[in-house]
Structure 1
Amino acid sequence: MSLELQQVIEQNFIQAFNRESFKKSLSPEDYDKLVAELQDMEFAKGETVFEDGESPQGVYFIKEGTAKLSKSGVYGKDQILRFCKEGDLIGYRSLLCGENFQAKAEAMTPLKVVFLPADFFIHLLEVDAKLSYAMLQKIAYELGESSNTVTFLAQKTVRERLAEILILLEQKLGTDPEGFINISLTREEIANLIGTATESAIRLISEFKQDELILVEGRNIKIINHEKLIKLGHVVI
């Protein structure tokens, strides 16, 4: 999916999931109840938002910061599923399916969220056509991301996967004023994302640095040759 279309879908959801939009779709009485039910919550870096297997009590709208969704594998090794940023909603899939959470959500940075209880979230979907359509777009987009991940892991080399994941992380999370991707990842987490051993990830990052594709400062990475990385990773922008 193009960056422009991704941004349109994200913006549509943000415009639908806010108090002004809710005020238009709800009765005054229901709106007052909603405002009373909304909870502002904060999580420190590394703190768990919800656990894999936990029963969902509502959904979490990210106001500020970055979170990751991960799942523990057969041998206890965590697999990162995706990253979520400001404007994203997490916890809704399991809630809508009527099942326990199938992943763990953890704050990658200091995180501020708005928690909306399950019954009110379902009520909003029933009465707010704009929100329902924005949710359908969001679900369809994330389904496409999941399909791309299958191809990504099955058909690309590790070198190609690293190139693509760096481009996609920058596209998803943006950069700081100095141009570094807005997330700090350990080498183990990068290896996890591209489906390889930590030692291989360390070697590839070193090679990318030597080839002047990226600049590395500790756990922070800055892309300095987008054109070559895009070509190497066969990334469609």
Structure 2
Amino acid sequence: MFKFKAVIVAVNKVPKNTCDSCPRVSQTLFDGVNSEELVKVSENKSCIRYKKGQTLYYEGTRPLGLFCVNGGKVKVFKMSSDGKEHIVHLAKDGDFLGYKDLIGEEFYTTSATVLEDSIICYIPKTNFLSLLQGNPVFFNKVTKAIIKSHGILENKLLNIAQKSVRERLAATLLMLKETYGMEGNEQGVLLDIALTREDLANIIGTATETVIRLLSEFKSEGMVALQGKKIRIINEAALVKTADFYEALN
């Protein structure tokens, strides 16, 4: 069994570039860290190709390192007592995963599963903490990122409490557009992320059947077009009005 696992890891490994030469470094918390420090981090990292549906880590396990999305998309979620997923974050290129639990020396409070074939870099705990302790600028950036993530979570919980399911779905589509929207054309803006209807339901906290019904309503009202699992935003202004989410256009 152990030999088989070793072969799988070897097959899935991809050529390792140094972090300072990575084209996505400016999109990460490593932006501004000097080349010498990034080379040290790169010496012990590994880059693995993950297939859609594979899990990076599980809630309740102990973090041993940091994950960075080199290319692809990852959903981060918690499991409720009845076994239902509640998606708390959708990670994209350049995002770090698991660093809050790693720094806090806690078990993972979430799980992370890849949404599409992805390349994920893994940095061992000792290397990440060494950089954190030795670089005040990096330490401040990570601290601000943690504070910001808590604020986003609080706002999300507030929206869940105050908005109807229809409003929450419209607001979620608008936020997905800001992160994953491709260049628009006369046919609207395509969301470059293939979320299942169950995934959308787990983001906004409702039943899958409700999301299916509401998307059908949005389509009939000319706000979106449905292309398999992907969604195209046709009328953003109407979505903003539906979501009662006027800041989306500012």
The TM-score by the shorter chain falls in which range?
Answer: 0.7 to 0.9
What is the TM-score normalised by the length of structure 2? 0.82
The residue matched to 1:101 in structure 2 has which SS? coil
Are positions 1:164 and 2:171 aligned together?
yes
Q: Deviation per CA, 1:91-137, whole angstroms, max 9, x where unpaired?
A: 10111111111111100011112211111111111111222222122
The RMSD of aligned alpha carbons is 2.1
Partner of 2:148: 141
What is the TM-score normalised by the length of structure 1? 0.86
Are positions 1:70 and 2:77 aligned together?
yes
Contact 1:15 1:21 in 2 (8 A): no
Equivalent in 103, 111, 115 of residue 104 of structure 1: 111
Distance 1:53 1:13, change over 3 A: farther
Q: How does 1:1-237 map to 2 (within 5 A)?
A: 14=27, 16-17=29-30, 21-24=33-36, 26=37, 33-175=40-182, 179-235=189-245, 236-237=247-248
Give the partner amino acid of 1:80. Answer: I
Contact 1:186 1:219 in 2 (8 A): yes
Contact 1:42 1:111 in 2 (8 A): yes
Unaligned regions of 5+ residues in structure 2, if any? 1-23
CA distance in 1, matches of 2:29, 2:200: 33
Give the partner amino acid of 2:220. Answer: Q
Give the partner amino acid of 1:197. Answer: A
Unaligned regions of 5+ residues in structure 1, if any? 1-10
Give the partner amino acid of 1:193. Answer: I
Report how many residues are paired: 221
Structure with the bigger RCO (C-alpha within 8 Å, sep 6+) is 1
Distance 1:160 1:47, change over 3 A: same
**Seq. identity, %:** 31
Partner of 1:4: none
